[in-house]
């Protein structure tokens, strides 16, 4: 995820939002502290003013304060959640009320000070203490008193908490909505890239056609242009390689056929046994080269992929199997191998190319005949069920379990002495694999019955009924 565009966009968009949330939370806390202090300090000063109105001066000029009723004290507190303490001092510093342990205030306030507000610790509690002066008595004989009151901070803290929650919770909701909006925006912004990824992943390996750019966003079009340019270059390179292989194979086939003819004539006309043997070896070598060239042509044709699939028709696999079996009959007779063909009475319909499928079956039969023993048998069986299957089974030397996974690789040959004694290029089963892929079929290899020989099975996809109805294939008679 380190190189994920989605993750990087999320990080770079979320970090500012988180920083904004932290800054907003700090500012909200400071604001709640300020507002709660201002509101409750003003209420505390109002409580002191109410106390000042309770101070009395008698005729002798003595200052006193009556005992406050409990109801009055309750009104001076905030929702009865805090403890309220007050003290009144005469101008000479004499305490006129009970001593509640509040620190003694200064005897006189500075001229510019209307009140003093501070925090004090009384006992184990923190109090907000306010000190102010008040004039009592008649205007011409007024006396000055200092009134000091303190209250605990319970109501302030609860108000601050409510105020903070009232600010932070909406911000958290807005942040959650912003995160959701960012997430949706990123997903929608990256959707064109996911669409391109899905289009490319659904393509066949041979499909190098350009991806349409009309509906693509402007930011993605440059990427699509580069990708389409790559497709064009790869397609051109593949075409050049295929043309080279096909041209080379065709150019080789004609002189090789002529060379084979000359060697056959020389073999028949010469009387020297040694020279005749050399001619026979040369002729066999030329035949192997011709077969390899033919296999290269078949492999090149199978690798054309998409262009061949466009020419696929509904064909009868039974007919193709008969033609392939007919071609290998001479080799089977020469090696004394019994060849058995077992096909259904009804036509076996599949969609494909008859020439390629004939090459597939021929390669399987030739391998089964070549790597067999005199007096052995090779069977070709076609079954038409939910899926069409073609099975080639023999009772020959078989394939060791360690080599089964690699026999379909190009130029790979089983390293046993029995296999190496036979001539071959290692291309036959590679051609089978390529043609099977082209027809969306699967090829499997397993031991034959009683673990003697090999069984190659090719399973073709099911053909829809409408395709079968449109087919011109004719039913065949069962042959052996």
pLDDT in tens, 138-160: 655 567 778 888 888 888 888 88
Indicate the average pLDDT of the chain. 77
Confidence at residue 53, expressed as pLDDT on a 0 to 100 scale: 72
Q: Would 171 be classed as within a structural domain?
A: no
Model confidence at 387: pLDDT above 70: yes
Return d(Cα 468, Cα 386) in angstroms, integer.
Answer: 14
Structural domain contains residue 186: no
Per-residue pLDDT of 28-50, as tens digits, reads 888 888 888 888 888 888 887 77
User: Are 13 and 140 within one domain?
Assistant: yes
459 φ, ψ to 5°? -110, 125
- Residue of higher predicted confidence among 430 and 254: 430
473/315 Cα distance (integer angstroms): 6
Are 390 and 428 in a shared domain?
yes
What's the rounded mean pLDDT across residues 113-133?
Answer: 84
Residue 417 has pLDDT above 70, yes or no: no
Is the model more confident about 256 or about 365? 365
Provide the pLDDT confidence category of residue 305 given band limits of 50, 70 and 90: low
476 domain residue, yes or no:
no
Q: Are both 317 and 458 inside the same structural domain?
A: yes
Separation of CA 331 from chain center: 53
For residue 262, what is the domain's CATH number?
1.10.287
Residue 224 lies in a domain: yes
In a shared domain, residues 24 and 114: yes
Give the pLDDT confidence of 274-290 residue by residue, as tens digits: 787 788 778 777 777 77
Q: How many domains does the chain have?
A: 3
pTM of model > 0.85? no
Q: What is the pLDDT of residues 53-71, one digit of tens each?
A: 777 666 555 666 655 555 5
Residue 478: predicted pLDDT? 36
Query: Residue 469: which pLDDT band, with cuts at 50, 70 and 90?
Result: very low
Same structural domain, 349 and 217: no
Going by pLDDT thresholds of 50, 70 and 90, the confidence category of residue 459 is very high
At residue 73 the predicted structure's pLDDT band, cuts being 50, 70 and 90, is low
Q: Tell me how far apart the alpha carbons of residues 88 and 111 are, in angstroms, rounded to a whole number.
A: 20
196 domain residue, yes or no: no
Residue 186's closest CA among 10, 55, 350, 398? 10
Mean pLDDT computed over 381-399: 86
Alpha carbon distance 190, 154 (integer Å):
52
**pLDDT score at 174:** 84
Q: In sequence order, which residues have a C-beta less than 8 Å from that of residue 453 and are 6 or more positions away?
A: 368, 372, 376, 393, 394, 395, 396, 397, 398, 447
Residue-number span of the structural domain to which 220 is assigned: 203-308
Q: What is the DSSP string of 19-65?
A: HHHHHHHHHHHHHHHHHHHHHHHHHHHHHHHHHHTTEEE-TT--EEE
pLDDT at 465 over 70: no
Q: Is the pLDDT of residue 176 over 70?
A: yes
Instruction: Assign residue 121 the CATH number of its domain.
Output: 3.30.450
| Same domain, residue pair 136 and 246 | no
Q: Poorest-confidence range of 72-86, 200-214, 293-307, 409-423?
A: 409-423
pLDDT at 1 > cutoff 60: no
Q: With a cut of 70, say whether residue 311 has pLDDT above it.
A: no
Question: Residue 214 in 3-state DSSP?
Answer: coil
In a domain, 41, yes or no: yes
Cα distance between residue 124 and residue 118, in whole Å = 16
Q: What is the pLDDT of residue 475?
A: 37
Task: Answer yes or no: do 212 and 142 share one domain.
Answer: no
d(CA 144, CA 92): 9
Residue for token pair 């101008």: 91
Q: Does any domain span residue 132?
A: yes
Q: Which of 266, 268, 263 is nearest to 289 (CA)?
A: 263
State the pLDDT at residue 55: 72
25-34, 291-300, 328-337: least confidently modelled range: 291-300
Are residue 315 and residue 353 in the same domain, yes or no? yes
- Choosing from 279, 308, 337, the residue where a domain stops is 308
What pLDDT score was predicted for residue 263?
79
Average pLDDT of the segment spanning 182-202: 81
User: 389 and 273 share a domain?
Assistant: no
> Does residue 91 have a pLDDT over 80?
no
The region of weakest confidence among 45-54, 117-126, 315-324, 383-392 is: 45-54
Instruction: State the Cα–Cα distance between residues 242 and 248, nearest whole angstrom.
Output: 10
| Average pLDDT over every residue of 299-327 | 74
Task: Identify whether residues 457 and 376 lie together within a single domain.
Answer: yes
pLDDT of residue 160: 81
Does residue 228 lie within any of the structural domains? yes
The answer to whether residue 453 scores a pLDDT higher than 80 is: yes
Quote the pLDDT of residue 416: 52
Is pLDDT at 385 greater than 50 in this prediction?
Answer: yes
Which of 308, 323, 345 finishes a domain?
A: 308
Give the Å distances, CA to CA, from 447 to 229, 359, 370: 47, 23, 17
Is 60 exceeded by the pLDDT of residue 87?
yes
Specify the CATH number for the domain of residue 340: 3.30.565.10
The separation between the first and the last C-alpha atoms of the chain, rounded to the nearest angstrom, is 62
Same domain, 291 and 322: no
The per-residue pLDDT for 450 is 67
Task: Please report the pLDDT score of residue 420 as a whole number.
Answer: 43
Euclidean distance between CA atoms 340 and 346, whole angstroms: 18
Which tokens in the block code for residue 360?
């597939």
Q: Which of 226-235, 299-308, 319-328, 381-390 has the lowest mean pLDDT?
A: 299-308
400 against 354, higher pLDDT: 354
For residue 205, the 8-state DSSP code is T
Q: Are 238 and 337 in contact (CB under 8 A)?
A: no
Q: Are residues 336 and 280 in the same domain?
A: no
Q: Among 161, 178, 193, where does a domain finish?
A: 161
Most confident of 3-17, 181-195, 307-321: 181-195
* Residue 54 Cα distances to 44, 62, 83, 107, 280, angstroms: 16, 14, 20, 20, 140
- For residue 458, the model assigns a pLDDT of 92
**Of residues 134 and 319, more confidently modeled:** 319
């Amino acid at each position: 995820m380190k190189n994920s565009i989605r993750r990087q966009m999320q990080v770079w968009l979320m970090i500012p939002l988180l920083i904004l949330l932290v800054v907003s939370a700090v500012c909200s806390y400071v604001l709640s502290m300020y507002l709660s202090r201002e509101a409750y300090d003003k209420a505390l000063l109002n409580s002191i003013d109410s106390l000042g109105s309770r101070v009395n001066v008698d005729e002798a000029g003595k200052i006193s304060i009556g005992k406050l009723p409990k109801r009055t004290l309750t009104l001076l507190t905030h929702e009865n959640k805090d403890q309220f303490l007050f003290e009144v001092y005469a101008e000479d510093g004499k305490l006129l009320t009970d001593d509640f342990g509040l620190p003694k205030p200064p005897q006189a306030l500075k001229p510019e000070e209307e009140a003093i507000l501070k925090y004090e610790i009384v006992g184990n509690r923190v109090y907000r203490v306010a000190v102010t002066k008040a004039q009592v008595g008649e205007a011409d004989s007024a006396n000055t008193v200092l009134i000091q009151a303190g209250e605990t901070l319970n109501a302030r803290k609860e108000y601050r908490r409510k105020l903070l929650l009232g600010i932070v919770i909406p911000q958290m909701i807005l942040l959650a909505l912003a995160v959701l909006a960012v997430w949706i925006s990123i997903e929608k912004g990256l959707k064109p890239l996911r669409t391109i990824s899905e289009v490319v992943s659904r393509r066949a390996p041979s499909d190098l056609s350009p991806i349409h750019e009309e509906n693509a966003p402007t930011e993605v079009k440059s990427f699509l242009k580069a990708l389409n340019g790559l497709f064009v270059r790869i397609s051109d390179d593949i075409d050049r390689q295929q043309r080279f292989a096909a041209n080379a194979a065709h150019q080789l086939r004609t002189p090789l056929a002529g060379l084979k003819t000359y060697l056959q004539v020389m073999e028949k006309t010469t009387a020297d046994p040694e020279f005749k043997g050399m001619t026979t070896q040369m002729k066999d070598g030329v035949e192997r080269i011709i077969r390899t060239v033919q296999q290269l042509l078949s492999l090149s044709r199978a690798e054309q992929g998409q262009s061949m699939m466009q020419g696929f028709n509904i064909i009868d696999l039974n007919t193709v199997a008969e033609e392939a079996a007919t071609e290998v009959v001479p080799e089977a007779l020469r090696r004394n191998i019994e060849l058995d063909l077992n096909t259904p009475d009804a036509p076996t319909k599949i969609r494909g190319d008859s020439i390629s499928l004939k090459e597939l079956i021929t390669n399987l039969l030739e391998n089964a005949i070549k790597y067999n023993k005199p007096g052995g048998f090779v069977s070709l069986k076609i079954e038409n069920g939910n899926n069409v299957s073609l099975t080639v089974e023999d009772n020959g030397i078989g394939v060791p379990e360690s080599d089964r996974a690699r026999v379909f690789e190009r130029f790979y040959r089983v390293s046993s002495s029995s296999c190496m004694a036979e001539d071959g290029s290692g291309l036959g089963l590679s051609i089978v694999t390529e043609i099977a892929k082209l027809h969306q079929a699967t090829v499997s290899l397993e031991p034959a019955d009683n673990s003697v020989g090999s069984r190659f099975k090719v399973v073709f996809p099911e053909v829809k009924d409408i395709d079968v109805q449109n087919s011109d294939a004719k039913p065949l008679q069962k042959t052996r």
